[in-house]
Chains A and B, each alone.
Chain A
Amino acid sequence: AQSVAQPEDQVNVAEGNPLTVKCTYSVSGNPYLFWYVQYPNRGLQFLLKYITGDNLVKGSYGFEAEFNKSQTSFHLKKPSALVSDSALYFCAVRGWGGYNKLIFGAGTRLAVHP
């Protein structure tokens, strides 16, 4: 079965500290992995994706994610958190079915404190 797990409902980080938002996946074959961010009362915004190639993917707003095939993980990272990074973050994996189906995790709320 195809699935995505985000084990933390909320992550709290002090401004200026590094942050990590965790994601693990289960899918047959090579995974296509995505991170999206949702600010309050807004739609989801694409941050970055891994399709193939370098395991470290760089995306928008200084975020990056590391693909680890052996641990089936795709953790989102940022070296120095900003208060404005506070939002809801979704990890997703592309399922198979011919229509680029995305399977989303339940989301992790990131709170960055001044």
Chain B
Amino acid sequence: NAGVTQTPKFRILKIGQSMTLQCTQDMNHNYMYWYRQDPGMGLKLIYYSVGAGITDKGEVPNGYNVSRSTTEDFPLRLELAAPSQTSVYFCASSYGTGHGDGDTQYFGPGTRLTVL
């Protein structure tokens, strides 16, 4: 049981480039989340999904897009990268409503992205 996996671990982008951050979970969780972590700022929610085919915006969605075609995968797309998107990105998942452990989110190891 690998939990939540993310690729790549590190990436450097030039301004204006695009990329997709991959996230996969093998716990059959319904809910999945993308966060960014900036120094001293805690985690901010970018997008979330409550099931395959259902996604919605979090606190800081501008400049990002997501899709959820399967239960396991929740990729995050950056279009036209900007220096302000330099951050560490974390994917998380949880069972969701109706499960005894539904509130606990489990995190991947993160992707460190630098935009120059």
Residues of A at the B interface (CB closer than 8 Å) are 9, 32, 34, 36, 41-46, 49, 51, 90, 94, 98-102, 104-107
Residue in A41, A42, A102, A106 whose beta carbon sits within 8 Å of that of B41 in the complex: A106
Q: Does B64 contact A (CB under 8 A)?
A: no
B: interface residue count bin = 20 to 34
Closest B residue to A33 by beta carbon equals B103
Residue in B43, B45, B103 whose beta carbon sits within 8 Å of that of A90 in the complex: B43
Q: Apart from A43-B109, A46-B105, A98-B97, list 19 A-B contacts with CB within 8 A.
A: A32-B103, A41-B110, A42-B110, A43-B4, A43-B107, A43-B110, A44-B92, A44-B107, A46-B106, A51-B103, A90-B42, A99-B31, A99-B50, A102-B45, A102-B105, A106-B40, A106-B41, A106-B42, A107-B42
A34 to B102, CA, bound (A): 13
Residues of B at the A interface (CB closer than 8 Å) are 4, 31, 40-43, 45, 48, 50, 56, 58, 90, 92, 94, 96-97, 102-110
